[in-house]
Chain A
Amino acid sequence: MPIIEFHDVHKWFGPLHVLNGIDLKVDEGEVVVVIGPSGSGKSTLIRTIDRLEPIQRGSLVVDGMPVHDPKADVNALRRRVGMVFQQFNLFPHLTAVENIMLAPRKVKGLNAAASRKRAQELLAKVGIPEKADQLPVRLSGGQQQRVAIARALAMDPKIMLFDEPTSALDAEMIREVLDVMRQLAQEGMTMVVVTHEIGFAREASDRVVFMDAGRIIEDSPTGEFFAGAREERARQFLSKVIHH
C-alpha cells in the first residue's frame, strides 16, 4: 500500500510545463532519491507532496489524503509530512530549541516542558545537544540544517521530504547532515530526497528516480540504477556527476 501516490500529475509555471505526467509510488518505509539536471522539476515534484506547490492536473494521494483536492485539510497533511529545505529556513528570532518546540506547542498543543524535553532529545539525536539555546546565527550551516531536521521530526511525521538539504553547505559539513539522514533511513522513515549526493543515493536509498524536463525518465531500484541505468540520459547525467 503506497503512502505517496502520484497519478498523471501535471503542473505548469505559466507556459513552462514543469511536471509533465508524473506517475510515482512510494511505499511506507521506502527511501527514494530523486536526481536529475537542474530545472528538471525535482524540487517542484517534492514540494507538491506537501502542497507547497499546487498541481493543476492529475491526482496525488499522500497518506490517504487527496492533496490535489482543494478542500483537503492542508495543515493536517503537513503535520504528517516533514520538510527540510536547501536554505534551512530556521526562524532567526528563536533559539535552536525554540525552533523545534514551536510547532509541537502551537499545532499539537503540547505544553512547554514536554515539548522542550522532546526538543532536547531530538537535538541529541542530531548530535548537537549543547546548541539548544543558541540563535541560528550562532550555528554553522551544518548545525542549522541538523536543527531544521530535528524541527521537522518534532512533529513525528510519517514522511520526511528533503529538498537538496546539502546544496548550501560547505563540503566539510555535508557529511554531518548526511549521517543524520542515513540514520533516519535505517530507522525506517519514509523519505523522499532530492539531492546531488550520489554517494548518499547509492548507500542509503532503496530506489532512484531520474527526472528530466518535467518527466520521470527512469525509476529503478538503487542497485540496478548504479549497475547500469537503462536510460541513456540517466547514464550521461551519472557520468557527469560522478566524474566532476
Chain B
Amino acid sequence: MPDLGVRASVCARGGRKDLTMPGAIMFEFPDLFFTGLFLTVQLSVLGSIGALAAGTLIALFRISPIPPLRWVGVAYVEFFRNTPLLVQLFFLFLGLGALGFRFWTTDTFESIFRAGAAGMALYHGAYVAEVIRGGLLGVDKGQIEAARSLGLSYVQTLRYVQLPQTFRATIPPLGNIGIALIKNTSLASTIGVAELLQAAEIVESRTFRTEEAFGAVVLLYLVLTIPASLGVNWLERRLLVAR
C-alpha cells in the first residue's frame, strides 16, 4: 500500500490516541493558519467585489441596445464560464507573467496575490453576470415604461429602477456564488498564494499531522462560510421586495 509510510509515521507517534481537540493545531501554528485565513478573507472580499462589479457591467453589456457591447458580454461569459478556474489562475499568473505582465507590482508575492484575486473576480463575474442579467430582464416592462415616461433616461432607469430591484431579487443566487467563491479561493494555493489551504499544507509537511492540519482548514472554511450563509439569509429577509 502506497500510504503505508504515512500510516506508519502516525502510528509511530502513538496514532489516534495523541489526537488533540479538533482544530487545536491552528493555535500551535497561528502565524501560518491565521495569516492564511486572513489571505483567504482578503481574496474572498476583493474577489467578491470584483466579481460583482465585473458581473454587473457584463450584464449591462448583455442587455444593451448596442450590438458590439452585447457581443463582448457574450464572449466574456462564455470564455470565463467554459474554462476551469484552475487553468485561468495558471494563465493569469504564469502565462501573463511569462509575457511580462505582473499586475503592476514588482513584488512577487503581491503579484501572485493580485493574480489570484483577479482570477476570482473574473471567473465568478461570469456567473454573477448571468444572475444579474436574469434579474434585470425580470423587472416588469411596465415599470421601465413608467420610468421612461417620467423622463428618466435609459441609464437612469437602469440605475434607479432596474438595478436596485435586481440586487434585491438576486440576493439568494448571488449569495451562492459568493460562498462558492470563498471555497474556490483554495485553488489560489496552486499558484502560490499562502492562503488557508497552503498554510495547512505547510503545517502538514512539517508535522505529518495530516488529519489535524486539514481538519483545521475545514473548520476555518466553515467559520467563513457559515456566517456568510447566515448573512445572505438575513439580507434576503431584510431586502427582498414584496410584490
Residues of A within 8 A of B142 (CB): 85, 87, 89
> Is there a chain B Cβ closer than 8 Å to A155's Cβ?
yes
Q: Tell which of B149, B160, B243 touches A106, judged by Cβ atoms closer than 8 Å.
A: B160
> Is there a chain A Cβ closer than 8 Å to B78's Cβ?
no
State A122–B120 Cα separation when bound (angstroms): 49
Chain A interface size, as a band, is: 20 to 34
Contacting pair B164 A93 (CB below 8 A): yes
State A92–B138 Cα separation when bound (angstroms): 13
Contacting pair A93 B156 (CB below 8 A): no
Residues 49-78 (chain A) with a chain B CB within 8 angstroms? 50, 52, 75-76, 78
Contacting pair B151 A78 (CB below 8 A): yes
Contacting pair A75 B145 (CB below 8 A): no
> Is there a chain A Cβ closer than 8 Å to B143's Cβ?
yes
> Is there a chain B Cβ closer than 8 Å to A91's Cβ?
yes
> Is there a chain A Cβ closer than 8 Å to B153's Cβ?
yes
Contacting pair A92 B242 (CB below 8 A): yes
> Is there a chain A Cβ closer than 8 Å to B226's Cβ?
no
State A85–B142 Cα separation when bound (angstroms): 8
Contacting pair A78 B165 (CB below 8 A): no
Q: Tell which of A79, A87, A137, A152 touches B242, judged by Cβ atoms closer than 8 Å.
A: A137
Contacting pair A107 B150 (CB below 8 A): yes
Contacting pair A93 B165 (CB below 8 A): yes
Q: Tell which of A89, A106, A137 touches B146, judged by Cβ atoms closer than 8 Å.
A: A89
Residues 79-112 (chain A) with a chain B CB within 8 angstroms? 79, 81-83, 85, 87, 89-93, 102-103, 106-107
> Is there a chain B Cβ closer than 8 Å to A135's Cβ?
yes
State A79–B153 Cα separation when bound (angstroms): 11
> Is there a chain B Cβ closer than 8 Å to A11's Cβ?
no
Number of interface residues of B (CB under 8 A): 21
State A82–B151 Cα separation when bound (angstroms): 9
> Is there a chain B Cβ closer than 8 Å to A151's Cβ?
yes
Residues of A within 8 A of B241 (CB): 92-93, 135, 137
> Is there a chain A Cβ closer than 8 Å to B147's Cβ?
yes
Given contacts A93-B168, A152-B150, contact A137 B243 (CB under 8 A): yes
User: Could you give, for residues 202-243 of chain B, a 1 whenever the CB lies within 8 Å of some chain A CB and a 0 otherwise?
Assistant: 000000000000000000000000000000000000000111
B interface SS class = helix
Q: Tell which of A81, A87, A90, A137 touches B149, judged by Cβ atoms closer than 8 Å.
A: A81
Q: Tell which of A89, A93, A103 touches B151, judged by Cβ atoms closer than 8 Å.
A: A103
Closest residue to A78 on the B side, CB-wise?
A: B151
Contacting pair A83 B146 (CB below 8 A): yes
State A135–B161 Cα separation when bound (angstroms): 14
**B24 CB, nearest partner CB in chain A, Å:** 48
Residues of B within 8 A of A83 (CB): 145-146, 149
**B89 CB, nearest partner CB in chain A, Å:** 37
Contacting pair A52 B152 (CB below 8 A): no
Residues 137-196 (chain A) with a chain B CB within 8 angstroms? 137, 148, 151-152, 155
Contacting pair A52 B160 (CB below 8 A): no
**B165 CB, nearest partner CB in chain A, Å:** 5
- Most A CB within 10 A of own CB, among B145, B161, B164: B145
Given contacts A102-B160, A106-B156, A137-B243, contact A91 B147 (CB under 8 A): yes
**A29 CB, nearest partner CB in chain B, Å:** 21
Given contacts A102-B160, A137-B242, A137-B243, contact A89 B152 (CB under 8 A): no
Residues of A within 8 A of B28 (CB): none
Given contacts A78-B149, A85-B142, contact A107 B156 (CB under 8 A): yes
Residues 150-171 (chain B) with a chain A CB within 8 angstroms? 150-153, 156, 160-161, 164-165, 168
Closest residue to A148 on the B side, CB-wise?
A: B146
Q: Tell which of A76, A78, A135, A137 touches B150, judged by Cβ atoms closer than 8 Å.
A: A78
Contacting pair B150 A103 (CB below 8 A): yes
Residues of B within 8 A of A81 (CB): 149
User: Could you give, for residues 181-200 of chain B, a 1 whenever the CB lies within 8 Å of some chain A CB and a 0 otherwise?
Assistant: 00000000000000000000
Residue pairs across A and B with Cβ atoms less than 8 A apart, 9 shown, are A75-B151, A78-B149, A90-B146, A91-B147, A93-B168, A103-B147, A107-B151, A137-B243, A151-B150
A binding-site residues for B, Cβ under 8 Å: 50, 52, 75-76, 78-79, 81-83, 85, 87, 89-93, 102-103, 106-107, 135, 137, 148, 151-152, 155
